Structure 1
Amino acid sequence: MSNRGSNSRKQRPDVVIGIHQTGDDLQMVVVRAPSAGQQPRIVLAKSASRSMISQELGTFKGAMVVRVAPLAQTIARMSVVPIAGEAEMSAAVNLMAEAEFPASIPPHRIAAAVLPKVSGEAQTRAALFTAWLGREAMPVIREGVDEQWTTVLGALAALRGDKKGSIIHADRSSSAVAVLLNEDSVQAARVVVDDVSDEIPWERVSAAAVQDLMATSGQECDEATADAIVNEGRWTSHTDWLTGRVTGTLIDAAWLEKYGLPLGAALMVLDEGLKLSALCDMSGEAPKIKKPAIVAIGEWLSQGARPIVVGAAAIALLVGVPFGLSYARYAALQTRKVGLADINSKSGDIKLRAAMYRQLQTARAPMTKLLSDIAGAAPVGVEIVETRLSVDQDIAIRGKATNTEVHGQFMKNLNATKLFAGSIKPTRTESKDGVTEFELSAKLDNPHLPVKASGDFVKSPLAAQLWGEGATNTTMPVGAVRQVTASGKPVVGNNAKPAGAAAAVATDRRPSPSASSSEAPPELTDADIAKMTRSEAMKAWSARAGWVTANGKADPGVKDRVTAERDKLRERMTAAGKEEQGGTK
């Protein structure tokens, strides 16, 4: 496993031979390394018995042989690594590969590499991890010719190159399917082995494998989408992947079906732009274990007259080593004496830094108190998504507000806490679909200062602020009928209900079986809307917004009327809020 994770070799071979076995025959593709400014050239593509392929290997002295392991005996995973230097990403992939597969898989049958960058990738790169199951040694095709091994998914990745898109290969003889997904939201790899009857088309088996892999990745995928991915990812139909990358023969779908995998095994070595050569670092048999150095040295010393010579040398060392160590110690002390002045000059800086660290330890910000103060400053309608505190005592807050007025009130409340230095101003504000998203930052000044919450939920419970006077956290206002939209959000409307029904609603917060969410809210005139306070407008707007969401198939005329009233009520909420703020001032 020493070579795994390195995407480059010390010296690229002049000729690479890719071999893949189908049934009793072997498919061999011989590719010669490109000259300056040219592409790799296919010298020979041949399908024959094992003995004939062995004879052909004898004619290519010094060639590198890369064989493709049986698909049903391999497994694969895919992950992502942050973009960094090639050496750093290779080291990260090497460490990740040791954790991706069980310990029962021998190290010499695990390979991993960072896949080529494709369009659409930003801060990460996809990494492919492949493993070959089993420990039994694989016999070589020709004695004296070393063989490297790779997997079907490794060969497919080399064929695809830096092209974006999924690639799928089905092997009916072994009842296995290899899937390499590279869609907009999913990057995954899987080998699926299933015992299916010959009557089931392999397109359907491949689509089922795609659906399962998408579901495992947390993405929904119906049959139509899976069939589309299979049709687009059928690798034998994408001969354009190889256009301009190799020369020497005409590549069509039939040729690619027969010789595509051995060609991919050769390209992962010769196409240096892909940096996929680490995927063919598997071996058919375990590496030979070398003798420990101490054992090899002991065997060497025990031969001939060497024991006498070594004994004499040991006596000389026994006498001379103490004098040598004394002189070495004297020389080391003389060297350190020269640097004492520099050490003394640096000690002052070290003491100052230690004092600073002690001060930071004793003056740490009280995070629990700060979070409580910030939450207490947030009015109803503000959602704090993230709060961060840096080493320099800078605090950053990201959140959402139902409208700009609520956002402005939150800013005002934060400034009133006196926790921060200067006036807090948002660094980013953006409105989407009526919701204001904001980011702000400030520097802590008085983190230990006592702060009183801006709202009193004892005098005015949250239910009263949402539903109006008379509502509590357990009881709704008298006469209010609780309705629930399709998404589960409550809708309140002042419909005329019998006293018994109103009492039942007041004591039970669950949706009443008799309350119909399909009943449209009563009609409001422009004059009625203009007389409403902000709280009244908010309740009426909530009722109509919930009804529109829950009744998408309602009568178009009624739906248009309720939608128009909802929009007017939103404008009235904004206007009434400004009027109330003006009256407060």
Structure 2
Amino acid sequence: MLVFRRVGDAWYALSAVMEGSLRIASSEQVSAFSAEAVRSLIDRHKPERVVYLMPGSSAITRVVELPSGTDEERLGALELIAEAQLPSNIAEYRRGYGLLPERSGSDHHAGLICGWIGERPTQKLLLAGRDGVASEAVALMWLLDPNASDALAVIADPEQGAISIGAMRDHRPFVRAVRETPGDASAWEGVVQRTLAESGLQATDLEWSGGPSGPRLALDESSLARLAARTTGGSLSDRGWLARYGPLIGAALAVTGRTPTGNLFALLDEAPKPRLNPAQRVAVALADRRIAVAALIVGLLLCFAVPVLAVWARASVLAEKVAQSMPQEQGMEDPGAAERMVRLRGVMYDELSSKRWPVMKMLSDIAGTMPVGVQAENISISGGDRITLRGVAQSSAQANDFISRLTESGVFRVEPGRREITARGTEFDLSLIVVQPFATPTNLEDFRTETLAVRLYGEEGAEMVRAAMEAGAVSQTPAGRGGTTGRGGAAGTGTSREPTFQGGSRAEQAEPVPEPISADAIAKMDRAETMREFGARFRASGRDDLDSAVKSRLQDEIAQLRQRLQEISQQGGR
């Protein structure tokens, strides 16, 4: 921290830091008429706190006896006492209160209240939030030995006519600050002695520090010895140095010590500016008529400009979209295809300006154009008008049929990607460009008039599948997953379906895994055998405890049996 004290035409400054004991880093002197010199000193040391000491006679200072309690409770009591006992014309930011150091093992507690009644100690040097002012009389109390029965520290300044006293009388703290009429050296000595006598203090054997002119400091031997033990650096043995910087040491000990000093060393010369939230700052600014009129004009301009800017921004985005789409269409064989595509996109953007992007409708369109034998494994809708689809078909012809149906739907334009023939079939990737998201496709599969079973097995085969499911040969739900279908209830209930549940563990209810069957054996089966084997494998494939090899084998056999059913249906056999 950094402490300043003005003496005549000079500022005395002391820089100190608490490191177990108070280390005095530097003691300097700058001109009192140069604010720049003071600020340069502050910038060089970069202190966390700056305190300016004023003459003790510029403040009202009193000792207050306090009851036992926590530090917080005693500080709260001191705040109320300061408000009640100090003159009402002293502003709140010029009132201070804080606790005093206590004697070891003592149950006596005391504090100080202080009211600043003088002018600021110098030109405008205080910096909000970091700097404060304190009385020299308050700083003297931290030079004393609190364990001594009697201790005394006195500052006498003949030029200011100010006398500040800090003392311990029978272990009780005492502080006083008076202003007397300055006189010659001999007369001033008598004034000081009379003031000490009026305060009940014996000071005949005091040793004064300082010259015949300027402030002088007197400190009892016990307090001086304790001060030397509590500080490092400085020149305490130099009486002239001690007279100039002694009060600054007291202030540094108070601010960096453990005793809660409240705001005794943070008095302000003018009211601090309140911290306003953004809404309060706006309200204060609008209280100015000129600012309010300017804000009104800006608001009206925004009311007219924002819609225009929004339309311009939308038009710019759409124009950029059109410009980006032109190079993608210029490779078309039809010279007018690119222009038609751009127009379609323009229509699409017009529709999207008033409607939402029909994601579910487009997914339904993709599903409706997908022929039997084609499966979509992944559909990704990215930003913009592009949909990525990954799927697998049983044959290349089915994949080509799917692409043709998507193109003919009028909703999408297809950009084929990867195509690979694997053991699963024909795997493919497609990129779908949405051209008319709200168009109604005319080539969608209608599964209400022609069910999936009819498409797979024909009318007769579908009837056989339904009969097999009712007979229990084919379960309507995979094994091990529960369900609400199957035969149940008492005899005579016919084919009514009721929820059934068999007790026991999943292992007891699991469908047995059929033995492998060859393609030659499948080719020799009739319809009944095919349906029976199909149902057994279908139920077993739903088990959760199958390893990948068995599950893959069952799926391959199910596909072969399904193909056999189609062949039987085409041959008209049973």
TM-score (norm 1): 0.42
Larger radius of gyration: 2
